[in-house]
């Protein structure tokens, strides 16, 4: 058990955006929300999943929608609490703790806002070990966990509870509500028992993102290369160095979709890397080869500061380093690849683990 105060949130928001692979929501806004709640209500209490009783009931909370929208349509702050409490009321039971649905700038720290506000514990775990754009995408889900009953709330005071026949239906219905609510909303979903959390969640992931954030700051302080520091702590590899030369971005079907084009610099001069995204970075390829694909993590860092760049912050002219980080091995199962592999997102590309792609590329 550990108290998480405003300083830890600083580190976590940055580290989480590294694993968020462009998505998971704006870390700056998430940080403001979590720190504001902690300043008002005191630090949040983080526990290991091992501290849960097997029959405890916990739930994940997250932002749903297009991260590009949330930077303009700022949350009111209490909608995550409303969603959480709507679900508690619906199931007629208090939750023993909250967890993160995914890691990702905002979605790793917003649960701390809830935990601080309500004085409930937050589990050091998440459901993906990265961020993904759709609700049915999670390690608990591919093991059979149900997203519903789930609650959704907007900043105006509208809310709903969904009960569906599949997690894909939950995604489809909740996405339409999210779009109508203005393209961003807060959700409480994937109720798990303590036992299920211990078996299915990615354990220790919040501590991990905190360590990544700390590593970036330490590299700054010690004048070391922060990109290398991120590679070291995440097990990632440098895939590309370059300058963003074009971005095509649209808010479509409730997502931020598009492509970023990165003209190579140094070893990569004369070539261009294209990164396709749907909230998260999904596919990185040049004209003649696929460099990395979902579910492995494609992460873009500011080449100078090592700070992660999320989808909504992509800008022409940014000097960036692109990393590839191996995903949680459970994503590499047949059902994992079916759920979040390149073909699910419409790309006719075979999934090959990033390590193998790097070896093949020499």
Who contacts 149 (Cβ-Cβ below 8 Å, separation ≥6)? 87, 90, 91, 161, 162, 163, 191
Who contacts 298 (Cβ-Cβ below 8 Å, separation ≥6)? 21, 22, 239, 275, 281, 282, 283, 284, 292, 322, 323, 324
- Tell me the C-alpha to C-alpha distance, in Å, between residue 37 and each of 32, 33, 81, 279: 9, 6, 11, 26
Q: Which two tokens stand for residue 340?
A: 């979040």
Give the C-alpha separation, 129 to 111, whole Å.
Answer: 15
- Sign of the four-CA dihedral 39, 47, 205, 100: negative
Tell me which stretch binds a second copy (CB under 8 A): 30-38, 171-179, 267-275, 341-349.
Answer: 171-179
Nearer to a second copy (CB atom), residue 160 or residue 358: 160
Q: Say how many residues touch a second copy, by CB under 8 A.
A: 21
Nearer to a second copy (CB atom), residue 158 or residue 237: 158
Count Cα neighbours of 224 within 13 Å in the Cβ-side half-sphere: 13
Binding mask 70-89 for a second copy (x = CB under 8 A): ----------------x---
Nearer to a second copy (CB atom), residue 146 or residue 198: 146
Q: How far is the CB of 82 from a second copy (least distance, A)?
A: 9
Give the C-alpha separation, 64 to 29, whole Å.
Answer: 14
Residue 177: phi, psi to the nearest 5? Answer: -60, -45
Nearer to a second copy (CB atom), residue 86 or residue 260: 86
Nearer to a second copy (CB atom), residue 59 or residue 125: 59
Binding mask 131-170 for a second copy (x = CB under 8 A): -------------------------xxxxxxxxxx---x-
Binding mask 172-201 for a second copy (x = CB under 8 A): xx-xxx-xxx--------------------
Give the C-alpha separation, 36 to 1, whole Å.
Answer: 22
- 162 in Cβ contact with 64 (< 8 Å): no
Nearer to a second copy (CB atom), residue 78 or residue 158: 158
Other beta carbons within 10 angstroms of residue 8's beta carbon come to 24
Task: Check binding of 91 to a second copy (CB under 8 A).
Answer: no
Nearer to a second copy (CB atom), residue 40 or residue 163: 163
Give the C-alpha separation, 360 to 331, whole Å.
Answer: 21
Nearer to a second copy (CB atom), residue 165 or residue 360: 165
Binding mask 229-268 for a second copy (x = CB under 8 A): ----------------------------------------
Q: Which two tokens stand for residue 207?
A: 């501590």
* Radius of gyration for the chain, computed over Cα atoms and rounded to the nearest angstrom: 19
Q: How far is the CB of 188 from a second copy (least distance, A)?
A: 14
Q: How far is the CB of 247 from a second copy (least distance, A)?
A: 29
Q: How far is the CB of 90 from a second copy (least distance, A)?
A: 7
Q: How far is the CB of 358 from a second copy (least distance, A)?
A: 41
Site of interaction with a second copy (CB under 8 A): 86, 90, 156-165, 169, 172-173, 175-177, 179-181
């Amino acid at each position: 058990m550990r108290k998480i105060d405003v300083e830890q949130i600083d580190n976590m928001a940055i580290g989480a955006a590294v694993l968020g692979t462009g998505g998971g929501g704006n870390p700056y806004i998430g940080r403001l929300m979590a720190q504001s709640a902690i300043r008002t209500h005191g630090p949040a209490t983080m526990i290991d999943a091992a501290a849960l009783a097997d029959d405890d009931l916990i739930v994940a909370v997250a932002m749903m929608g297009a991260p590009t929208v949330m930077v303009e349509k700022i949350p009111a702050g209490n909608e995550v609490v409303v969603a959480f409490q709507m679900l508690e009321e619906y199931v007629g039971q208090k939750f023993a703790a909250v967890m993160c649905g995914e890691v990702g700038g905002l979605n790793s720290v917003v649960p701390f806002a809830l935990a601080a506000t309500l004085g409930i514990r937050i589990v050091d775990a998440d459901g993906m070990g990265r961020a993904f754009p759709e609700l049915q995408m999670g390690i608990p889900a591919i093991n059979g966990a149900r997203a519903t009953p789930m609650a959704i709330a907007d900043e105006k005071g509208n809310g709903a509870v969904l009960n569906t026949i599949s997690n894909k239906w939950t995604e489809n219905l909740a996405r339409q509500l999210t779009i109508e609510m203005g393209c961003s909303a807060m959700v409480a979903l994937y109720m798990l028992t303590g036992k299920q959390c211990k078996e299915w969640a990615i354990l220790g992931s919040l501590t991990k993102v905190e360590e990544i954030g700390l590593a970036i700051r330490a590299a700054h302080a010690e004048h070391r290369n922060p990109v290398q520091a991120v590679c070291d702590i995440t097990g990632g590899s440098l895939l590309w160095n370059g300058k963003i030369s074009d971005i095509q971005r649209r808010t479509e079907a409730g997502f931020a979709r598009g492509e970023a084009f990165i003209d190579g610099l140094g070893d990569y001069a004369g070539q261009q890397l294209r990164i396709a995204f749907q909230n998260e970075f999904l596919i990185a390829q040049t004209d003649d080869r696929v460099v990395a694909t979902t579910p492995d993590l494609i992460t873009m860092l500011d080449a100078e500061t090592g700070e992660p760049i999320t989808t909504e912050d992509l800008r022409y002219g940014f000097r960036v380093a692109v990393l590839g980080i191996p995903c949680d091995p459970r994503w590499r199962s047949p059902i994992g690849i079916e759920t979040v592999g390149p073909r699910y997102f419409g790309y006719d590309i075979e999934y090959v683990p990033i390590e193998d792609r790097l070896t093949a590329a020499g």
